Structure 1
Amino acid sequence: MGNCLPNSTTKSTAEISPAAAAAKPTSAVTVKLSGPPNSLSTSYLRFALLHKKLNLRFVPTEDQKPTIHVGAETVSGSQEVLLRYIEDKFPEPRLMIWKFNLEGFDEATPPMVKAIWLQHRSMAWHMERMVRWSEDLAARGGRRAVDPSVGTPKMEIRKFAKSSGKLLEVMVEHAQMEERILFPVLESVDRGMCKSANEEHGRELPMMNGIKEYIKSIGVMDSGVCSEELFSLASRFKSLQMMCKAHFEEEEKDLLPMVEAAEMGREKQKKLMNQSLELMRGTHSNVCDFLLQGLTPQEAMQYLDLLMNFADPNLISSFICKQAIVD
Structure 2
Amino acid sequence: MGNCFSTSSVAEISPLDLAVKPPLAVVASPAAAAQTHLPAPPTRLPIPPPSAKETTATATATSTVTVKLYGPPNSLVTSYLRFALLHKRVNLRFVPSEDQKPTIQIGSEKTSGTQDALLRYIEEKFPEPRLMLWKFNLEGFDEATPPVVKTIWLQHRSMTWHVERMLRWSEDLAARGGRRAVDPSVGTPKMEIRKFAKSYTQLQEMMLEHAQMEERILFPVLESVDRGMCKSASAEHGRELPLMNGIKEYIKSIAVMDSGICSEELFSLASRFKSLQMMCKAHFEEEEKELLPMVEAAEMGKEKQKKLMNQGLEVMRGTHTNVFDFLLQGLTPQEAMQYLDLLMNFADPDLISSFMCQRDIVD
The residue aligned with 1:164 is: 200
CA deviation vs aligned residue, 1:280-325 (integer Å, no higher than 9, x gap): 0000011001000000000000000111111111211222477688
Could you tell me which amino acid in structure 1 is paired with residue 200 of structure 2?
S
5+ residue gaps, structure 1, are 4-9
CA deviation vs aligned residue, 1:191-221 (integer Å, no higher than 9, x gap): 1111110000001011111111111111111
Is 2:271 the partner of 1:244?
no
Could you tell me which amino acid in structure 2 is paired with residue 143 of structure 1?
R
Change (3 A) 1:151 1:161: same
The residue aligned with 2:66 is: 32
- Give the secondary-structure state (helix, strand or coil) at the position aligned to 1:181: helix
Could you tell me which amino acid in structure 2 is paired with residue 174 of structure 1?
H
The residue aligned with 1:14 is: 14
Change (3 A) 1:180 1:237: same
Could you tell me which amino acid in structure 1 is paired with residue 66 of structure 2?
K
Is 2:299 the partner of 1:267?
no
Correspondence for 1:58 among 76, 92, 100:
92
CA offset at residue 79 of structure 1? 2.9
The residue aligned with 1:202 is: 238
Runs of 4+, deviation exceeding 4 Å: 15-19, 22-25, 33-40, 60-67, 90-95, 320-327
Change (3 A) 1:196 1:290: same
Higher mean displacement: 129-138 or 96-105: 96-105
Correspondence for 1:114 among 134, 150, 154:
150
Is 2:217 the partner of 1:181?
yes
Structure 2 CA distance for aligned equivalents of residues 88 and 263 of structure 1 = 39
The residue aligned with 1:283 is: 319
Could you tell me which amino acid in structure 2 is paired with residue 199 of structure 1?
A
Change (3 A) 1:55 1:313: closer
Change (3 A) 1:63 1:220: farther
CA deviation vs aligned residue, 1:126-165 (integer Å, no higher than 9, x gap): 0000000000001111111001111111111111011110
Are 2:66 and 2:107, in contact at CA under 8 Å, matched by a contact in 1?
no
Q: What TM-score, normalized by structure 1, do the two folds share?
A: 0.86
Structure 2 CA distance for aligned equivalents of residues 96 and 277 of structure 1 = 24
The residue aligned with 1:7 is: none
Are 1:17 and 1:294, in contact at CA under 8 Å, matched by a contact in 2?
no
Are 1:19 and 1:297, in contact at CA under 8 Å, matched by a contact in 2?
no
Change (3 A) 1:40 1:237: farther
Change (3 A) 1:48 1:246: same
Question: RMSD between aligned alpha carbons?
Answer: 3.0
- Give the secondary-structure state (helix, strand or coil) at the position aligned to 1:58: strand
The residue aligned with 1:308 is: 344
Change (3 A) 1:312 1:324: closer
Could you tell me which amino acid in structure 2 is paired with residue 238 of structure 1?
K
Could you tell me which amino acid in structure 1 is paired with residue 180 of structure 2?
R
Structure 2 CA distance for aligned equivalents of residues 321 and 20 of structure 1 = 25
- Give the secondary-structure state (helix, strand or coil) at the position aligned to 1:248: helix
Identity %: 77
Is 2:118 the partner of 1:82?
yes
5+ residue gaps, structure 2, are 3-9, 24-48, 50-54
Query: How many residues of Structure 1 are paired with residues of Structure 2 in the alignment?
Result: 319
- Give the secondary-structure state (helix, strand or coil) at the position aligned to 1:319: helix
Structure 2 CA distance for aligned equivalents of residues 275 and 77 of structure 1 = 32
Are 1:110 and 1:269, in contact at CA under 8 Å, matched by a contact in 2?
yes
CA deviation vs aligned residue, 1:208-250 (integer Å, no higher than 9, x gap): 1111111111111111111111111111111011001000000
Is 2:269 the partner of 1:233?
yes
